[in-house]
Amino acid sequence: MNSTKLPKSLWRFYFAYGARGHWGTLAIWFIAFLGVAADGVLFPMIERWFIALFEQTPPAGISFIEFAMPTIILCVSLFILIDLMNILRGVMHGRWNPKISNQISDILTDYVHHQSMSFWTGRMPGKINSQINYVATGFRTIEKFINMFMSMMIIIVNVGIVLNINKYVAFIFAAVFVFRMIYGLALLRPMNRSSANASDSSSTLSGKIVDSISNYSVVKLFAAATSERKYMAPHRIANIKNKITAQFFQRLFWAVPNIVWNFAFGGVMLCCVILYSRGEILVSEIVFTISVFFNVMFRISHIIGEIPDIVDNISSAHKSYTELVQPIDVMDADNAKILNVKHGEIEFRNVSFKYKNKYILRNLSLKIAPGTRIGLVGASGAGKTTLVNLLMRLYDTTSGDILVDGQNIRDVTQDSLRQNISFIPQEPTMFNRTLRENIAYGNPNATNAQIRHAARQAAADKFITATEQKYNSMVGDRGIKLSGGQRQRVAIARAFLKNAPILILDEATSALDSQTEVEIQKSFEKLARGRTTIAIAHRLSTLRNMDVIVVIERGRILEMGTHTQLIRRGGEYARLWKMQSGGFLQTNDRK
């Protein structure tokens, strides 16, 4: 399955992916469904047959009980058959419903995981989660659709039978049905709009709440609970307003037709009385007519009652699906090859990059020889992280190319590119899983010995073994239970374990104390051996031994050379170096 290419239309998605692998279960469920639906026609008929028994005289020599027996047996058998169908329908529904919901959620979660960075930067994870759930719920609506269709059939058959008994009664049925449909359809559009607004404001609110709750530590530190409530208030008010409007339309949908039905029932009773007084209708036919009246009214309510839900579910599913299945900016080329890294040469060729209209990198060219360690230096916001993001193809360049061992990264699969890069980010985040799982992330088959070895190299083993559960300790939400330095060391251990030929360190040692930094620096040197390494640092002392140091200013390379060459040159690097005391930059360049 290719989750990076999903149909544009929700219906095609449901058809192609929703039921895949479950058509058999759905087919059995549908047949059982038909059987149960027959109940709608059979029930009034059975009542009619039964009452009709009392209007007949049994043939000579047969007692009334014997005469009635076949009808009783037939009726009971039919009821049992329908009940069995009902059980089968329930069992099948119980099977397909969770499977299909999870299948849809699985495919969409996978799709959004393939989304490019620009998709994520503009969205709230909480909202994405509820949108995925809306699409899954939308599929379950097909059951309601089929139900509606069945009810429609049952109404038509029943009205047809009543037409045989009396055309006036049939006319009342048909009139109520037509009125209800027209009334319902007229309200459909405003109802549709109001429920889409209600669900949209619900997901926005839920996204904001998740965002607020997940930043609980910031809220606490800024004593901002009250201002968070204030911030949330307009969204809550909008949500309440939209929900009340949606509810209003729902009420309106029901109230008027209910009153109309009371009059219609009066009309049916009057017709029966008139026909009986003229001797034109049998009691069994009256019973049948009344039974059909309630049955038809029940079905109409059912159909109409389902419409708001169906509209609600489908419009929410539709809106959510369209937002989720936005085209992916960064895609593998159709004939993308697997990146083959033999040496680890990296080349940036005239690379420019902009976010919206703001250029971050301009015409930058840089060739990094295999196995070289280069240091990137520059003021905050200069574009260092952006440069390595482009190398990992988290974004595509606006112009220019990036090559790894002569292969353009646009021509290889993103997975193979990233498998060849170990990246330790500026602010490593963790899954709320165990330390072991976090270290082995991306390498789930690693043995315990390998995990420990990696942790030792990253100077993380000591603090891990000091925790109560050791490698089985949970790290908390996004790693909250770890200190900044510990989180970095877990990220470093992860990179050691990944063992990729290209290594990128973005301020990887910024949160470490000097003692640990010295330990890790040694490990880095070991790790960097034979690998092409790009290290970004504000603390220039960490880059001193790099083969080449590149100074970036406003998206351009200002100067490059070894530490000694750059100091001798007396340019920006030399200026920065002078400003540092004990290896720290003392300007407000640091964040």
Ligand X SMILES: Nc1ncnc2c1ncn2[C@@H]1O[C@H](COP(=O)(O)OP(=O)(O)OP(=O)(O)O)[C@@H](O)[C@H]1O
Interacting residue ranges for ligand X, rule: CB under 6 A: 121, 355, 360, 378, 380-386, 426, 591
> How does DSSP assign 263-308, residue by residue?
HHHHHHHHHHHHHHHTT-S-HHHHHHHHHHHHHHHHHHHHHHHHHH
Residue whose beta carbon is closest to Mg ion: 385
H or E element that contains 252: helix 225-277
Shortest Cβ 547–Mg ion spacing (Å): 21
* Largest Cα span, the chain: 127
Residue tagged 């007519």 (tokens):
289
Please, which residue, 119 or 471, has the CB nearer to ligand X? 119
If the CB atoms of residues 359 and 441 are measured against ligand X, the closer one turns out to be 359
DSSP label of 17: I
- Of 111 and 395, which CB lies nearer to Mg ion in the complex structure? 395
Q: Give least dist CB 537 to ligand X, A.
A: 9
Question: Interhelix angle for 64-114 vs 23-53, to 10°?
Answer: 160
Shortest Å, Cβ 508 to Mg ion:
11
How near is the Cβ of 30 to ligand X at its closest, in Å?
48
Q: Compute the distance between CA of residue 488 and CA of residue 424 in angstroms, rounded to an integer.
A: 8
Sole window of 93-101, 265-273, 383-391, 398-406 interacting with Mg ion (rule: CB under 5 A): 383-391
Least Cβ distance, residue 93 to ligand X (angstroms): 45
Least CB distance from residue 524 to Mg ion, whole Å? 18
d(C-alpha 538, C-alpha 524), whole Å: 17
Q: How far apart are CA 132 and CA 108, in angstroms?
A: 7
Which of 18, 383 has the CB closer to Mg ion? Answer: 383
| Residue 11 interacting partner from Mg ion, ligand X, none (CB closer than 5 to 8 Å by kind) | none
Q: How far apart are CA 569 and CA 547, in angstroms?
A: 16
Angstrom distance (rounded) from CA 148 to CA 302 = 8
Query: Which uninterrupted H or E stretch holds 13?
Result: helix 10-13
Task: Using the minimum distance from each CB to ligand X, give the nearer residue, 299 or 384.
Answer: 384
121 binds, among ligand X, Mg ion, none (CB under 5 to 8 A by kind): ligand X
Stretch that binds Mg ion, among 53-61, 194-202, 312-320, 384-392 (CB under 5 A): 384-392
Cα gap 160→148, rounded to integer Å: 18
284 contributes a contact to Mg ion by CB under 5 A: no
The smaller minimum CB distance to Mg ion, of residues 520 and 537, is found at 537
Residue 533, strand partner residues:
373, 503
Output 35 or 425, the one with its CB closest to ligand X: 425
> What minimum distance in Å lies between the beta carbon of 257 and ligand X?
52
Q: Is 154 helix (H, G, I), strand (E, B) or coil?
A: helix
Strands 502-506 and 399-404: unpaired
Give me the least distance between CB of 226 and Mg ion, in Å please: 33
Per rule CB under 5 A, is residue 385 in the interface with Mg ion?
A: yes
Q: State the Cα–Cα distance between residues 426 and 302, nearest whole angstrom.
A: 57
Residue 307 or 424 having the CB closest to ligand X: 424
Give the CA distances from residue 303 to residues 39, 145, 184, 318, in Å, rounded to whole numbers and listed in that order: 16, 9, 10, 21
| Partner that binds at residue 380, options Mg ion, ligand X, none, CB closer than 5 to 8 Å by kind | ligand X
Three-state DSSP class for residue 536: strand
Q: Which does 48 bind (CB under 5 to 8 A by kind): Mg ion, ligand X, none?
A: none
By a kind-dependent CB cut-off of 5 to 8 A, residue 383 interacts, out of ligand X, Mg ion, none, with: ligand X
> Least CB distance from residue 483 to Mg ion, whole Å?
21
Joined together, the tokens standing for residue 450 give 């390998």
Residue count, binding to Mg ion (CB under 5 A) = 1
Round to whole Å and give the CA distance between 6 and 97. 22
Q: Are 431 and 437 in contact (CB under 8 A)?
A: yes
- Closest separation in Å from C-beta 381 to ligand X: 4
Q: Using CB distances below 5 to 8 A depending on partner kind, what does residue 521 bind out of Mg ion, ligand X, none?
A: none
Give the 3-state secondary structure of residue 538: coil
CB of 355 to Mg ion, least distance (A): 14
Query: CA–CA separation, 161 vs 45, rounded Å?
Result: 10
Residue 141 vs 385, nearer CB to Mg ion:
385
Strand order in the sheet with 502-506: 421-424, 502-506, 532-536, 373-377, 548-553, 556-561
Pick between residue 271 and residue 495 the one whose CB is nearest to Mg ion. Answer: 495
CB burial string 511-522: b at 16+ within 10 A, e below: bbeeebbebbbe
Handedness of CA 353, 356, 357, 358 (dihedral sign): negative
Query: Which one, 411 or 553, has the nearer CB to Mg ion?
Result: 553
Binding site for Mg ion (CB under 5 A): 385
